[in-house]
Amino acid sequence: MKRIFADLHLRLNPNDTEAARSIINKAAALGYGLVAVPFSPETREADIEQLRGICKEAKIDFACRVDLYPRTKDQLTHLLRKLRRRFEIVCAVCETKEVARQAAKDRRVDLLSFQSLDYRSRFFDWAEAELASSSLATLEVDVKPLLVLEGPARVRLLSCLRREVSIAKEFHVPLVVSSGVSSELLLRKPREIATFSSLFGLSEVSALDAVSDNPFAIVRRNREKLSVGFVAPGIRVVKQGGDC
């Protein structure tokens, strides 16, 4: 079966329509079948629909995503309660250990993101992976830092990523590899993104899954949950009324 590729972290400015259109068209030309764009919790629905329309014109599927930056676990819980049914993908950016632990065990979180370049502020460890393995959380890795960093900083980041990916594999935590870019010049073909994944220990098949099967699984699961008639996984209301 032919793979369909996805980039779940394409950073676009919804207020710059022409730049967004150019990047989306480039992503479609490079072979992506789906892109997800992160929005802030305050984003207007009109801005989301505008980008959805641009993607439709480019014949590329679009998923709306929210990136949460909570400082405490209580703040994360509040944001999830408020926003979970508004967005197709929810990413928790884990900047403290408290938030990382809560995000890993909360089934409303789709993606765990550790964006710090300082290994002391990256909290994906064995305890984190064990919690994530019992929920629906997926570890997301952006390749943008690998494209822009040089020298010792890049080596240190690769060392962190190898350790985190190894832990994720040990606990069967799914992995998604995204671009994390906001510039057309930094966009890469999906198979090139998968090739970058080999730098931190993924096999060829696992790397391709991280830019195709794994991101699509998240979007499909959440679209089902957000659809009319959803009751629980595998249970839907198909008809209502007195003649049921």
Express each pLDDT in 30-44 by its tens digit.
999 999 999 999 999
Q: Is residue 197 in a domain?
A: yes
Residues 212-223 have a mean pLDDT of 96
Q: pLDDT digits over 160-180, tens only?
A: 999 999 999 999 999 999 999
* Distance separating alpha carbons of residues 70 and 99, to the nearest angstrom: 7
Contact present, 89 and 66 (Cβ < 8 Å)? yes
Q: pLDDT digits over 80-136, tens only?
A: 999 999 999 999 999 999 999 999 999 999 999 998 888 778 889 999 999 999 998
* Distance separating alpha carbons of residues 78 and 235, to the nearest angstrom: 27
Q: Is residue 241 in a domain?
A: no
Q: Is residue 122 in a domain?
A: yes
Q: Which domain holds residue 210?
A: 5-236
Q: Is residue 244 in a domain?
A: no
CA atoms within 13 A on the CB side of 32: 32
As for how many domains the chain has, the answer is 1
* Distance separating alpha carbons of residues 180 and 10, to the nearest angstrom: 6
Percent pLDDT > 70 in the chain is 93
Q: Is residue 90 in a domain?
A: yes
Give residue 241's pLDDT.
59
* Distance separating alpha carbons of residues 79 and 69, to the nearest angstrom: 10
Give residue 238's pLDDT.
57
Residues 206-228 have a mean pLDDT of 93
3-state secondary structure of 111: strand
Q: How many CB atoms lie within 10 A of CB 48?
A: 18
Q: Is residue 243 in a domain?
A: no
Q: CATH number of the domain that 43 lies in? A: 3.20.20.140
User: What pTM, to 2 d.p., does this model score?
Assistant: 0.90
pLDDT-based confidence at 232, cuts 50/70/90? very low
State the DSSP code for 218.
H
Q: Is residue 242 in a domain?
A: no
* Distance separating alpha carbons of residues 46 and 23, to the nearest angstrom: 20
Q: Is residue 63 in a domain?
A: yes
Q: pLDDT digits over 58-72, tens only?
A: 999 999 999 999 999
Handedness of CA 103, 108, 112, 113 (dihedral sign): negative
Average pLDDT, the chain: 91
